[in-house]
Amino acid sequence: MMKECGKNSSSPCAACKLLRRRCGHDCVFAPYFPADEPHKFANVHKVFGASNVSKMLQELPEHKRGDAVSSMVYEANARVRDPVYGCVGAISSLQQQIDMLRTQLAMAQAEVVQLKLRQSTNITNSPPNSGSPIMGSVPKGYYHMDLDVDQSNTFNEPMWPY
């Protein structure tokens, strides 16, 4: 009969199940790789190897092992998606998105300042009762907005060539 894995389960942990070995009560993997999450250990094993993971966990104090496992799982999943860059690739991509969004935000803020400046200039320079009653002294075309519209997926055009 198989020894207990962990404290209250009768099935082996995901690591021991994948490695096809007996899961003892002192199994270093059991608290962090439960039987109902086999994918969690599979990627960690594929990237780091069971022996290395076991050594890393045994060298750490127990209160730090959970965080170490979380980091290993995150990096392993990233390495499965991007074997060359892993987490660094994801971080780099996100940083590029942040930079692009900051640039767009700065441009939008500058445009708001320009519009406010034009509006205050138009109000102070306009004669009383000029312009339309609704629009006041706002010049024609003042509310025009330049929008870049991607029209490649409109209903009139096919999404792929025939």
Residue 16 has pLDDT above 90, yes or no: yes
> What is residue 135's predicted lDDT score, i.e. its pLDDT?
47
pTM score, two decimals? 0.56
Closest CA to 45 of 82, 80, 7, 12: 80
Distance, in Å, from the CA atom of 158 to the CA atom of 148, rounded to the nearest integer, reads: 20
Tens digit of pLDDT for each residue in 97-133? Answer: 999 999 999 999 999 999 999 998 887 776 655 554 5
Closest CA to 48 of 24, 16, 71: 71
Tens digit of pLDDT for each residue in 61-104? Answer: 999 999 999 999 999 999 999 999 999 998 999 999 999 999 99
